[in-house]
Structure 1
Amino acid sequence: MNKMTTSERRGYQMICDNTGSMMVVACDQRGGMRTLLASDPAEQAKIGNDVLGLTKYDITSYLASEAGCVLVDPLCAVPGIVDEGVLPRDTALLIGLDASGWKESPEGYRISTLVDGIDARKVRELGATGGKIMVYLRTDTPQANSENIQTLRDVIADFAQEDLFLVVEFLTYKLNDESQEDFEKKIPSLIQEGCKVCIDCGSKVLKIPFPGSEEACRKVTDICGDIPWAVLSAGVDHSTFLGQVDISLRNGASGVIAGRSLWKDCISLDRNVSKEKLSTVAVSRLNDIQKLLLKYSKKAD
């Protein structure tokens, strides 16, 4: 199995909270964050990276000190989040390498892309604890994955050369000629097989969608072995995500990497509104997740 180096192990320890479980607040979204800040496409287009950066500052200010780590993109919030003292000194920082959105092949497959100029060395220069890479996978359709798998292998090799901690995330998606019902039936197996692909590429820590059930979570844990996996929120409502977190942790997950379920209805172009909602609603939601992390504490194993 893919064993962490001492440096990588230290990075992993830093993104965990005092329960020994991953607790990462994700705010590396760009396009998705714009749609939350403005409903009109024309108004969304006017929202620059500077405005997104301030929004991420606010999320960090109110949630990062409560969590083990914050995940941001490399365009909007760094290096200012460090240089301006927004990030608490004992909170870890992950930087996402993936570009916003995706390219589409002639066959309709999603091709993952990276932000130009961002590699392991740059992530280190930006003061981060480590990086995060996301790729799209349809493991039942091999021809959809070759380019994304190569991207994943290249990034994993680059971070290994730098001996820098890396979280690997994958998402799956509905094909153009596929019904939503058929896709949803396949999700558990697509996630399980996606874990295998990422592990085969050298992944040492995974961030994955909710596998779908108690049994599916146990299968993921069996596939991962000693490799920690965290469940992501995918923007579902808070109560739904809490149920997913409970099932995931009870069946072997090593933590949570949560974004929109925490803050999607707490951010605004009016920063006073953001600060009021983040400091109350979002912090309360984070505390709910932390209670589950404590319940299934890795340190109690």
Structure 2
Amino acid sequence: MSPRRFFVNSTLPAPMNTIRGLMRGSVPCVGYKRARVRTTAESRALQQLTTADGWLAIVANDQRQSLVALREQAGLPATAEELRQLKADIVAALGRDASGVLLDPEFALPALVDEGVVPRDTGILVATERSGPQAVDGLRVADVLLAPTDVRRLGGTAAKLLVYVRPDHEDAEGPNGRLVSRLAEACAAADLLLFVEVLTYRRSDEDPAEYGRRKTDLGLEAALLVESCGARVLKLESPGSEPGCRRLTEALTVPWALLSAGVDHETFKTTLQAAVAGGASGFIAGRSLWKEAALLQPPERRAFLLGEGRRRLAELLALLP
């Protein structure tokens, strides 16, 4: 399957995965069976969040609770100021090469915009959810911190919501489905593009091996559920193979980007290559690029990010044809 980049304004032929190919005016998205027409504002936001060749190449830097835990376990300070500086170092080193950065509203924003850390031509994807879901009747339910107006106020190009979904135990009328629908409606009213990150999980009473066997199918069903609730772009885990990615792409009517899930860089490169071949529109990667830096002292951290971090990002960009 040809990859899907996003070309908005170009006279060049548009590959299947590109924003220009998917969204030239009101023309249905190439390669999507039931393509959704996007608004001018959504098309512009996608243009601002993609590379010149139309790929989503976003550095994820919205971790909060997990980042605090990582540093505390290593005996390092995890104050708000420490985390703000860590996030600033990541964006300063990697933001200029990325098409966008995914940032949180608790440690990163608005400081990284106010201080001029985010490069002027780099799009900003703003995490809207509270860090860590709530447990409700055996499900993991997200809690939204920001409204679309808050995302705009923080300088955001688009909004992102993370939901943990078990499609075999919930549907569009469940708490996560209703949450996505409400936020999607609010974003549409505000002409704000909405990305939704979808993760599945093993329930406490579920056999690990059984969950492992079902994980790919659950991921597909969860993506379709969230898409039906109004998500415009999806951030998804790898289905595990190029055919699995192709199956996912063919089932969806919206583009999707691959998340790194904290795997090591070499593993993520292999996963991304299969995902792009299977129709993914790029990546939204965080820890695979910079996780070692989170445990380094500032001088060593900056050196790592400017050297190894940028090298890793360049290798990911080279996989986007």
Q: Which amino acid aligns with 1:15?
A: L
Confirm or deny: 8 A CA contact 1:11 1:165 kept in the other structure: yes
Q: Which amino acid aligns with 1:233?
A: S
Residue 134 of structure 1, CA deviation = 0.9
Q: Which amino acid aligns with 1:48?
A: T
Match of 1:146 among 174, 178, 193: 174
Residue 144 of structure 1, CA deviation = 10
Which residue is 2:29 aligned to?
none
Counterparts of 1:154 and 1:50 in 2: how far apart (Å)? Answer: 33
Which residue is 1:230 aligned to?
257
Counterparts of 1:276 and 1:34 in 2: how far apart (Å)? Answer: 22
Which 10-residue stretch deviates more, 6-15 or 138-147?
138-147
Which residue is 2:45 aligned to?
11
Counterparts of 2:234 and 2:126 in 1: how far apart (Å)? Answer: 15
Give the 3 Å change call, closer, same or farther, for CA 26–81 of structure 1 in structure 2. Answer: same
The yes-or-no answer on 1:112 pairing with 2:142 is yes
Which residue is 2:288 aligned to?
261
Confirm or deny: 8 A CA contact 1:8 1:165 kept in the other structure: yes
Match of 1:133 among 148, 158, 161: 161
Which residue is 2:58 aligned to?
24
User: 5+ residue gaps in structure 1?
Assistant: 296-301
Counterparts of 1:214 and 1:32 in 2: how far apart (Å)? Answer: 30
Match of 2:122 among 73, 88, 91: 91
Confirm or deny: 8 A CA contact 1:235 1:259 kept in the other structure: yes
SS at match of 2:319: helix
SS at match of 2:293: coil
Q: Which of structures 1 and 2 has the larger relative contact order (alpha carbons within 8 angstroms, sep 6+)? A: 1
Q: Equivalences for 1:282-293 in 2 at 5 Å? A: 282-293=309-320
User: 5+ residue gaps in structure 2?
Assistant: 1-34
Deviations 1:198-243, CA, capped at 9 Å, x for gaps = 2211111111111122221111111113x21100001011111111
Q: Which amino acid aligns with 1:232?
A: L
Confirm or deny: 8 A CA contact 1:153 1:201 kept in the other structure: yes
Match of 1:54 among 75, 81, 85: 85
Residue 114 of structure 1, CA deviation = 2.1
The CA RMSD over aligned residues, in Å, is 1.6
Which residue is 1:164 aligned to?
192
Residue 36 of structure 1, CA deviation = 2.8
Counterparts of 2:296 and 2:78 in 1: how far apart (Å)? Answer: 9
Confirm or deny: 8 A CA contact 1:110 1:144 kept in the other structure: no
The yes-or-no answer on 1:271 pairing with 2:298 is yes
Give the 3 Å change call, closer, same or farther, for CA 269–246 of structure 1 in structure 2. Answer: closer
Confirm or deny: 8 A CA contact 1:72 1:96 kept in the other structure: yes
Residue 4 of structure 1, CA deviation = 1.6
Q: Which amino acid aligns with 2:79?
A: G
Counterparts of 1:181 and 1:208 in 2: how far apart (Å)? Answer: 21
Q: Which amino acid aligns with 1:228?
A: P
Confirm or deny: 8 A CA contact 2:172 2:228 kept in the other structure: no
The yes-or-no answer on 1:180 pairing with 2:211 is no
TM superposition score normalised by structure 1 = 0.91
**Aligned-pair identity (%):** 37
Which residue is 1:298 aligned to?
none
Counterparts of 1:111 and 1:204 in 2: how far apart (Å)? Answer: 20
Residue 268 of structure 1, CA deviation = 3.2
Which residue is 2:100 aligned to?
69
Deviations 1:151-200, CA, capped at 9 Å, x for gaps = 11111111101001111111100011112211111111111111211221
SS at match of 1:281: helix
Which residue is 1:35 aligned to?
69
Residue 99 of structure 1, CA deviation = 1.0
Q: Which amino acid aligns with 1:39?
A: Q
Counterparts of 1:28 and 1:245 in 2: how far apart (Å)? Answer: 20
Confirm or deny: 8 A CA contact 2:172 2:178 kept in the other structure: no
Counterparts of 1:287 and 1:197 in 2: how far apart (Å)? Answer: 34
Give the 3 Å change call, closer, same or farther, for CA 156–269 of structure 1 in structure 2. Answer: same
Which 10-residue stretch deviates more, 134-143 or 95-104?
134-143
Counterparts of 1:285 and 1:137 in 2: how far apart (Å)? Answer: 30
Which 10-residue stretch deviates more, 130-139 or 177-186?
177-186
TM superposition score normalised by structure 2 = 0.86
Greater share of helix residues, 1 or 2? 1
Confirm or deny: 8 A CA contact 1:139 1:145 kept in the other structure: no
Residue 269 of structure 1, CA deviation = 5.8
The yes-or-no answer on 1:239 pairing with 2:269 is no
Counterparts of 1:3 and 1:48 in 2: how far apart (Å)? Answer: 44
